[in-house]
Amino acid sequence: MMDLHKQRCDPEPSRISPLARRDLLDYIDKVPGWEISERKLTRKFDLESFEECLDFLGDLNDLSKREGHFPDVIIYNRKNLVIAWYTYESGGITRNDFIMAAKMNFSERFRV
């Protein structure tokens, strides 16, 4: 399997089927730090401040716009983030979600 962080998201997510359980188990090993929770691909980030959360999300927005794929985001306790990838058009976790998680893992910006 090619490095996920080098791949592009499918621009038509409605034509992608959600990954089967066995495929999810194969892909999850490719994105350390991420887990499947409540049927979404999630990761928690502990930052230093609310402002750092906003900067982080600004950079994530730039990445998301380039790929045309956007996460669910929760900020709690002023400095903690949960990023959740899920392809709503497909009704589940798809390869696009793992591509985005891999891009985040590969980028220095999202290593905290």
Residue 63: CATH number of its domain: 3.30.1360.20
pLDDT digits (tens, 9 = 90+) for 44-86: 999 999 999 999 999 999 999 999 999 999 999 999 999 999 9
The range of the structural domain enclosing residue 66 comes to 31-110
pLDDT, average across residues 36-50: 97
Q: Mean pLDDT across the chain, nearest whole number? A: 96
Using only the alpha carbons of the chain, give its radius of gyration: 13
Whether 93 and 40 have beta carbons less than 8 Å apart is answered as yes
Q: Which residue has the tokens 């089967």?
A: 20
Q: Is residue 98 part of a domain?
A: yes
The total number of structural domains that make up the chain: 1
Residues in the chain: 112
16 is a domain residue? no
Position 61 in a domain: yes
Q: In whole angstroms, how far apart are CA 41 and each of 17, 44, 50, 100?
A: 16, 11, 23, 10
Query: Is 49 within a domain?
Result: yes
Give the pair of three-digit tokens for residue 27.
């892909």
| % pLDDT > 70, the chain | 98
Amino acid identity, residue 71?
Answer: P
Report whether pLDDT(1) > 90. no
Encoded tokens for 96: 């696009």
Q: What angle do CA 87, 92, 95 make, to 5 degrees?
A: 65
Domain assignment present for 26: no
* Amino acid in position 27: Y
